[in-house]
């Protein structure tokens, strides 16, 4: 194990369990990190406002990276840095998402824009992030200063194929990666979790080699590659696990807390 000065954690599928709950053991693990002199930060495809319920529970004093690194804020939601999707790329992305039969969502500032309130995952997402979307006639006409575009479908193969086509189409102009099997996130080319590691390393003056990362989805692999030590959750796919230095338990079996206790804090329990 290298020296670890900062832990960067994904949220959904990692820090919180399947019910989107931060368990007491996970909360205590972060407190133990702090007592050991190890700082803690979070990143997610969620908007920063959709993570705000965690800020006080975790006593965060580090920048929060929303939209996979598209928006960095302080714990009081003051914007530190923002990276948006170019208008032409955003328009092409919405067209591509629809061509693949996925529903399109748009995030702009603190607004979440959708066209169909009854579409898959809308109700669940609203419950998760604790705020409601705004219904618009056509999200494809609301693309100025967009932080993230999401393709949504419960047909995971469609999402996977759309991801591959988006990466081929926008590889030099945007980042496209699944944040869940049913979500494809398209963000600014510099807005990815690898860039979150770089930002925190620079902003907090912590060498990247002293940063540990933990996550469960393909979009977490970029932060694995930039950090000194990486942990894949037990609920991650094999394609994610093989990219990490270690594998933790499932998010439904205190995988995050156990990973912190065992790998980072050195507990033998």
Phi-psi label, residue 20: left if phi above 0, alpha if psi -120 to 50, beta otherwise: left
Residue 269 lies in a domain: no
3-state DSSP assignment of residue 8: strand
Number of folded domains in the chain? Answer: 2
Kind and range of the H or E run holding 96: helix 87-99
Same domain, 110 and 28: no
* pTM score: 0.84
Given a contact cutoff of 8 angstroms between Cβ atoms, the answer to whether 140 and 94 are in contact is: yes
Same domain, 160 and 195: no
Residue 126 lies in a domain: yes
Same domain, 95 and 13: no
Cα–Cα distance measured from residue 82 to residue 69, given in angstroms and rounded to the nearest whole number: 8
Q: Which of 188, 213, 234 lies at the terminal end of a domain, its last residue? A: 188
Cα–Cα distance measured from residue 86 to residue 61, given in angstroms and rounded to the nearest whole number: 31
Given a contact cutoff of 8 angstroms between Cβ atoms, the answer to whether 257 and 7 are in contact is: no
Tell me the residue range of the domain where 224 lies.
Answer: 6-82+191-264
Same domain, 93 and 224: no
pLDDT at 268 over 60: no
Given a contact cutoff of 8 angstroms between Cβ atoms, the answer to whether 246 and 232 are in contact is: yes
pLDDT digit string, tens, across residues 169-222: 998 899 999 988 999 999 999 989 999 999 999 999 999 999 999 999 999 999
As a whole number, mean pLDDT of residues 85-103 equals 97
Q: Kindly state the percentage of the chain with pLDDT values over 90.
A: 90
Cα–Cα distance measured from residue 169 to residue 22, given in angstroms and rounded to the nearest whole number: 37
Q: Which of 165, 188, 211 lies at the terminal end of a domain, its last residue? A: 188
pLDDT digit string, tens, across residues 118-170: 999 999 999 988 899 999 999 999 999 999 999 999 999 999 999 999 999 99
Backbone dihedral angles phi then psi of residue 197, each to the nearest 5 degrees:
-60, -45
pLDDT digit string, tens, across residues 237-267: 999 999 999 999 999 999 999 999 999 998 6
Query: Residue 180 is part of a domain; what is its CATH number?
Result: 3.30.1240.10
Same domain, 161 and 216: no
Same domain, 174 and 94: yes
Q: Which of 188, 214, 232 lies at the terminal end of a domain, its last residue? A: 188
pLDDT at 269 over 80: no
């Amino acid at each position: 194990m290298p020296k670890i000065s900062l832990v960067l954690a994904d949220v959904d599928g990692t820090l919180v369990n399947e019910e989107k709950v931060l368990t007491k053991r996970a909360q205590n693990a972060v407190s133990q990190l702090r007592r050991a002199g190890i700082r803690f930060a979070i990143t997610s495809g969620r908007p920063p406002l959709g993570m705000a319920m965690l800020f006080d529970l975790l006593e965060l004093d580090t920048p929060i990276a929303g939209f996979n690194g598209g928006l960095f804020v302080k714990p009081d939601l003051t914007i530190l840095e923002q990276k948006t999707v170019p208008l032409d790329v955003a328009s092409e992305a919405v067209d591509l998402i629809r061509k693949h039969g996925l529903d399109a969502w748009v995030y702009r500032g603190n607004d979440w824009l959708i066209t169909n309130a009854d579409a898959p995952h809308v109700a669940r997402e609203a419950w998760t992030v604790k705020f409601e979307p705004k219904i618009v006639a056509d999200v494809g006409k609301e693309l100025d200063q967009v932080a993230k575009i999401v393709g949504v479908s419960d047909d995971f193969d469609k999402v996977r194929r759309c991801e591959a086509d988006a990466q081929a189409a926008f590889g030099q102009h945007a980042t496209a990666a699944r944040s869940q099997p049913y979500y494809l996130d398209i963000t600014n080319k510099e807005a990815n979790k690898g860039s979150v590691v770089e930002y925190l390393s620079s902003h907090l003056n912590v060498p990247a080699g002293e940063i540990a990362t933990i996550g469960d989805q393909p979009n977490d692999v970029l932060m694995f590659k930039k950090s000194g030590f990486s942990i894949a959750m037990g609920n991650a796919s094999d394609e994610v696990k093989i990219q990490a230095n270690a594998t933790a338990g499932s998010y439904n079996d205190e995988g995050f807390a156990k990973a912190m206790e065992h790998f980072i804090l050195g507990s033998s329990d």
